[in-house]
Amino acid sequence: MKKTVANTSKNGTAQAGPANPAPTEAVAVTPPPTPEELEELKARAAKADENWDRLLRTAADLENYKKRATRERADAIQSSLAALLQKLLPVLDHFEMAQSAAQTTNAPPAGIESVQAGIAMIQQQLKAILAETGLEEIDARGKPFDPLWHEAVAQMETADTPEGHVVQQIRKGYRLKDRLLRPAAVVVARKPASPPA
């Protein structure tokens, strides 16, 4: 506990204050840097500026690369789509010619057969174009049911097909190389229920 002592000022009034005034704290004075230290600090500052500039350039290069890659990817998709559509345009033309021929034919048996043959040729042309792009049909008939490539829509009791195999394919499935586009819709065989004894 500090003692307070009354001090008298010049005008004779008493003032309260600490009995022992606290010593003033000494402030450490740092000596100025030597010329060698100044040179080292300048070199470090220059290196920091250089690294900062390099970082900014690298970030800008990365951003430009991302934009360029996105643009190139979009151009590649557009280009491949245009190439596929150019191959499909003749198929569309042939369908229109077949439709026109079917409308103008007075339905003699030979006319219907020629239209059917023309449509079959168009189908083969379309399948060939799609096969060039890597599209493959998934043929599931008679094969074991595979949930990766097949979609079971029903089961059928039968003794003719082994259990768990595809009895009937209702809709074809398609894949693009190893990527599934649409599973084959199938009916799967099941053992016939034994008659009650």
What single string gives the DSSP state of each residue in 116-166? HHHHHHHHHHHHHHHHHTTEEEE--TTSBP-TTTEEEEEEEE-SSS-TTBE
- Both ends of the chain: CA-CA distance in Å? 109
pLDDT digits (tens, 9 = 90+) for 31-78: 888 989 989 999 999 999 999 999 999 999 999 999 999 999 999 999
Higher pLDDT, 165 or 14: 165
d(CA 148, CA 175): 11
- The pLDDT of residue 26: 66
| Mean of the per-residue pLDDT values of the chain | 84
Length of the chain: 197
- The pLDDT of residue 181: 92
d(CA 61, CA 64): 5
- The pLDDT of residue 175: 92
**CB neighbours (10 Å) of residue 171?**
13
d(CA 185, CA 168): 9
Here the tokens at position 7 are: 């001090």
List of domains in the chain:
34-133 (3.90.20), 136-192 (2.30.22.10)
- The pLDDT of residue 1: 46
Here the tokens at position 105 are: 């034919």
d(CA 57, CA 64): 10
Percent of the chain with pLDDT over 70: 82
d(CA 156, CA 162): 11
